[in-house]
Amino acid sequence: MFRYLPEQASEIAPKIDWINNLITDLSVFFTVAIVGVMIFFAIYYRKKDGVDHETPQIKGSHTLEWIWTVLPTLVCIYIAYYGVIYYQELRYVPDDAMVVNVVGQKWNWSFKYENGKETSNVVYVPVNRRVKFLMESKDVLHSFFIPAMRVKRDLVPGMYTYVSFTPVMTGEYHVFCTEYCGQDHYDMTAKLKVVSQAEYDEWVNYKEDLSAFTPVELGKKLYTGKGCNACHSLNGKKIIGPSFLKAYGREVELESGEKFKSDENYIKNSILAPNSQIVKGYPKNQMPAFEGQLDDTQIGNIIAFIKSLDGSQAIEEEVLPEKSDVDVTKLTPVERGKYIYQNKLCVTCHSLDGSKVIGPSFKGIYGREGELQDGTKYVVDDEYIKSSILKPMSQVVKGYPAAMPPYEGQLNDDDIAGVIEYMKTLK
């Protein structure tokens, strides 16, 4: 449980930890020594029986003053020297470093690789290769911090900054924003995945054929890929910005009192310059301007996607899970069930902590007994779960809305078996 410093996942980490540990050793030594001497004096020279004893009028000592001025100075110079040397190493970037472009904006990290591939809130790098993260901010100050790599640098709007390091251990590491940037600063985190060069090459060169998708589907991809989903729901729920459900053609009232029906122009303008028309009751300056980040085709796709959210279809069907690099057939049943839970949007309505969201919580669900809307009793077993997934409307639990879409044709028997195994683990 107790860990002194994070794993040493970069080439420079052991060096920085060496100087860090040296300071710790010296600090503990001097603190214990000085406080120890103080406590010793306090006890040894304490006033006894409430009467002061005679004390010598010692006013000071030049020799001692010199010693304890020069000695700390030498120690300080030694430490400062190594601090500077390793800092230079931290800031050094060889010419052949692999460059990843990083954009920070409230409260989302996006990454762009040399071949144009983009990711959001997760970044892949190959092990044992120097990387340079070239960073820019779209709004306020942010700071890019990977504890395991011992690197940190602020993102300053209006200038490029960078961090550079050589990862030496594969694995998954925290990325934090460490410069306060507003409401969800705490949530502006990402994952750094260090993988082998072969895995990295396979991953980075995997390209989706975009021509196979309709504009609506492409719009959906942008919706999650650009982080719109952090603030705009698809189910009518108010998160930070207005929901996208029925957002097209909706009666809009602005802060200024101006009223009109939302149309293509309004949506486009809201994407490019969001603060120019804030809907009444919503906070200002939360959404970054996407001017220069999205081209007209992309904006058209998003508009098509929003138009499709007219409420005619159950919302869960609207978002296809992101095309992923996970092969579910290689997972254990429980892992597979968990994967489906997270990626088939079960997570939107079924909590894991016992709280009621839209549907019943999955916590302790297996074996649960209760009453359905039509008054019949039920016990949650394999058969019940299977039919609830495939034909939810046939057995809605009393007190819950009939809101779940049927998953018939979307999940096969192995998927469902995985979900059942996963549910059994949720005690």
Partner 1 sequence: MAEGKNYLNHETTIWSWLTTVDHKRIGLMYLFTISCFFIAGGVAAILMRLELAKAGGDLVAPDVYNVLFTLHGAIMIFLFIVPGIPATLGNFLIPLMIGAKDVAFPKLNLLSYYIYLVGAIMALLAIIPVDWISAWLPEFLTNFLTWLGLSGPADTGWTFYAPYSLETGSSVIWMTGAAFVLGFSSILTGLNFIVTIHKLRAPGMSWDRLPVFIWASYATAVIQTLATPIVGISLLLLIMERVFGVGIFNPDLGGDPVLYQHFFWFYSHPVVYIMVLPAFGVVGEIIPVFSRKPLFGYKAICYATLAIAVFGFIVWAHHMFTSGLSNASAFYFSLATFTVAVPTAVKVFNWVSTMYKGSISFDTPMLYAMGFVFLFMVAGTTGIYLATLAVDVFYHDTYFVVAHFHYTIQGGAVIGLIAGLHFWFPKITGKMYNEVAGKIGWVLVFFGFNLTFLPQFVLGMNGMPRRYYDYPPEFEWLHTLSTIGALINGIGYSFALLNMLYAFIWGKKIAPRNPYKSLSLEWDTQSPPIHENFEETPTVTDYPYAYGVPVKEAV
Find the binding residues for partner 1 in span 237-256 (CB under 8 A): none
Q: Which two tokens stand for residue 206?
A: 């995997």
Q: Which residues inside 148-187 make contact with partner 1, applying CB under 8 A?
A: 148, 150-154, 156-159, 161, 174, 176-187
Is residue 35 part of the contact set for partner 1 (CB under 8 A)? yes
Least distance from partner 1 to the Cβ atom of residue 397, Å = 26
131 scored as a contact of partner 1 (CB under 8 A): no
Structure tokens at 342: 């997270």
Tell me the closest approach of the beta carbon of residue 422 to partner 1, in angstroms: 20
Q: Which is nearer to partner 1, 86 or 384 (CB)?
A: 86
Residue with tokens 């060169």: 205
Inter-residue contact 112 to 124 (CB < 8 Å): no
- Non-local (6+) Cβ contacts of 239 within 8 A are 230, 231, 232, 233
1 is a site residue for partner 1 (CB under 8 A): yes
Among 89, 217, 264, 335, binds partner 1 (CB under 8 A): 89
Q: How far apart are the C-alpha atoms of 100 and 102, rounded to whole Å? A: 6
- Closest approach, Cβ 112 to partner 1, in A, equals 21
Residue 365 half-sphere exposure toward CB, CA atoms < 13 A = 26
- When asked if residue 302 is in the footprint of partner 1 (CB under 8 A), the reply is no
Any contact of residue 19 with partner 1 (CB under 8 A)? yes
Check residue 206 for interaction with partner 1 (CB under 8 A): no
The nearest distance, CB 225 to partner 1, in angstroms, is 24
141 lines the binding site for partner 1 (CB under 8 A): yes
CB proximity list for 203: less than 8 A, separation 6 or greater: 124, 195, 325
Rounded CA-CA distance 224/112 in Å is: 16
Is position 76 an interface residue for partner 1 (rule: CB under 8 A)?
yes
- Least Cβ distance, residue 56 to partner 1 (angstroms): 5
Spatial separation of the C-alpha atoms in residues 57 and 51, rounded to whole Å: 18
Minimum distance from residue 378 beta carbon to partner 1 (Å) = 31
Q: Compute the distance between CA of residue 134 and CA of residue 164 in angstroms, rounded to an integer.
A: 9
Are the beta carbons of 305 and 224 closer than 8 angstroms?
A: no
**Interface segment toward partner 1; rule CB under 8 A; list 39-47, 95-103, 254-262, 319-327:** 39-47
According to the binding rule CB under 8 A, does residue 49 interact with partner 1? no
Q: Report, in Å, the least distance between residue 133 CB and partner 1.
A: 13
Q: Which residues contact 319 (CB under 8 A, 6 or more apart)?
A: 220, 223, 224, 234, 345
Determine the size of the site formed for partner 1 (CB under 8 A).
89
